[in-house]
Amino acid sequence: MLHISPLAKQPECENNALCLIEALTGMDHQVLVLDRAGPMTEIWRKAGANVEHLDILSEPGMTFFAKLQRSLGKLPARPEGIIYWSTSRLSLVLNAARSASAPLVAHVGNTATDSVMQSMRARVAELVLPASPGARLVACSEHVRLSLSESTYLRRFPAAVIYNPVALPDLRHQVRELRSEDPIRLGMVASIDPIKDHTTTLLALSILRVRFPQITLEFAGDGELRQEVEQQASRLGLSDCVHFLGHVADISRLIVEWDLFWYSTTVREGLGNAVIEAQAAGLPCVVSDLPMMREVGGDDSGCLYFLAGDAEDLARKTVTLLEDAGRCRLLSGKGRTRVAEFFSPEQAAQHYLGALGITGLV
């Protein structure tokens, strides 16, 4: 199996590749990284994959295409399938992949937007260099799949839904009885970017502080809006109880120490792997009531939902859990069960093999 990844960092798609490498132990795996080495490089290698870095991500379009095509043409053996873990420069990647003569699927992790310039570039590339025949898209949620119709380029490809895989961790959160005067730790794992909605969490926290004076909120993740969100916290007088942790290497050890998991996001969200990871760890979750979040949590026994963008509703729903350890335990158990049923790496691996038309290992 050939995995093509733009980066070797640790957001969702790189971890998706890792889960499949670990689940499909009967296959040889090669990872072509379009950029330079990163934290995932050695993690992929330890999982048994051969990793090569092309360092072409910043190259102009046709130079990028030519170098990728040469690299794919030099593969020691024809891969049974190719998974491109992105839609960035998709038309060029699909064209270059013709030299590998293998079925290809491209992962779509966020809702599609139709940029006029991107659409024009994709059309020109497709006219000059015909795309790999039979290429398909894999959307991380039904919400994302439906959004593909908004893109004049992406909507021409057949698309399936395969949920991002998440393995159940060994560490598990332990629900505790809480009193209003106890130290309480809330947490959210997310990039601090326009897709997410950190502002609503800050407003909800300012409401909760009246009732729970020792409550704190920890943000794990970084992004272009971090400085702006830090300034918002300061203006609301929350600097002493909001902690910006940046990138956290071992997120599983951190989240089990929290009392509740918050996830406030927007309709531009693709799926929300962080929520799945929190559920897998048995952490009760309060999340935006949006279509992709319903795909993650199912009914109210898997996650507790609040009206998206409504800080008062987020605060109300949080109080119901902080004062009801029994319901927290129910969410904890139901969340782990749902992850095992719908988001296991083994299940995702079989679905990807099916999308690629590989039947021997299914």
Q: Same domain for 97 and 33?
A: yes
pLDDT score recorded for residue 362: 47
- Do 284 and 200 lie in a common domain? yes
Residues 322 and 196 in one domain: yes
- Examine the domain organization and report whether 47 and 83 are in the same domain: yes
Query: What share of the chain has pLDDT > 90, as a percent?
Result: 82
- Please compute the mean of the pLDDT values over residues 83-99 and round it to a whole number: 92
- pLDDT recorded at residue 76: 84
| pLDDT average, residue stretch 252-260 | 95
Q: What is the mean pLDDT of residues 223-252?
A: 95
In a domain, 362, yes or no: no
Residue 125: per-residue pLDDT: 59
pLDDT digits (tens, 9 = 90+) for 15-65: 999 999 999 999 999 999 999 999 999 999 999 999 999 999 999 999 999
Confidence at 256, pLDDT banded by 50, 70, 90 = very high
Q: In whole angstroms, give the CA distance from residue 338 to residue 282.
A: 11
Q: What pLDDT, on the 0 to 100 scale, is given for residue 131?
A: 55
> Chain-wide mean pLDDT for the chain?
92
Report d(CA 306, CA 285) in Å as an integer: 11
* 20 shares its domain with 145: yes
Query: What tens digit of pLDDT does each residue of 104-134 get?
Result: 999 999 998 766 666 666 666 566 655 556 7
pLDDT surpasses 80 at 240: yes
Q: What is the mean pLDDT of residues 133-139?
A: 87
Q: Which domain holds residue 312?
A: 184-342
Claim to verify: residue 17 and residue 91 sit in the same structural domain: yes
pLDDT, position 276: 95
Q: Tell whether 126 and 238 lie within a shared domain.
A: no
252 and 279 assigned to the same domain: yes
Interval 147-193: pLDDT, tens? 999 888 888 899 999 999 999 999 999 999 999 999 999 999 999 99
Q: Is the pLDDT of residue 250 over 90?
A: no
174 inside domain: no
* Alpha-carbon span 278 to 187, nearest angstrom: 10
**CA distances, 154 to each of 34, 134, 305, 360 (Å):** 21, 14, 31, 29
**What string of DSSP letters covers 227-275?**
HHHHHHHHHTT-TTTEEEEE--S-HHHHHTT-SEEEE-B-TT----HHH
DSSP codes joined into one string, 86-123: --TTHHHHHHHGGGGTS-EEEEE-S-----HHHHHHHH
Distances (CA, A) of 80 to 171, 229, 352: 35, 45, 12
Overall domain count for the chain: 2
**173 within some domain:** no
Are residue 120 and residue 239 in the same domain, yes or no? no
Question: Are 280 and 315 members of one domain?
Answer: yes
Burial of 314 (0-12, 13-18, 19+ CB in 10 A): buried
For residue 361, pLDDT beyond 60: no
pLDDT of residue 359: 80
Q: Is residue 361 part of a domain?
A: no
**Residue 280 and residue 350 in one domain:** no
Q: Is residue 265 part of a domain?
A: yes
Find the mean pLDDT for residues 134-138: 91
pLDDT of 238? 97
* Alpha-carbon separation of residue 351 from 27, 79, 103, 136, 348 (angstroms): 15, 18, 14, 13, 5
Does the pLDDT value for residue 301 go beyond 90? no
Predicted confidence at residue 314, as pLDDT, reads 98
Instruction: Report the alpha-carbon distance of residue 5 to residue 335 in Å, rounded.
Output: 30
CATH number (domain holding residue 108):
3.40.50.2000
Do 313 and 351 belong to one domain? no
What percentage of the chain reaches a pLDDT higher than 70? 93
Q: Of 326, 325, 328, 307, whose CA–CA distance to 316 is shortest?
A: 307
Of 63-77, 140-154, 229-243, 348-362, the range with the highest mean pLDDT is 229-243
Per-residue pLDDT at 100: 86
Tell me which of 115 and 218 has the higher pLDDT.
218
**Alpha-carbon span 57 to 63, nearest angstrom:** 10
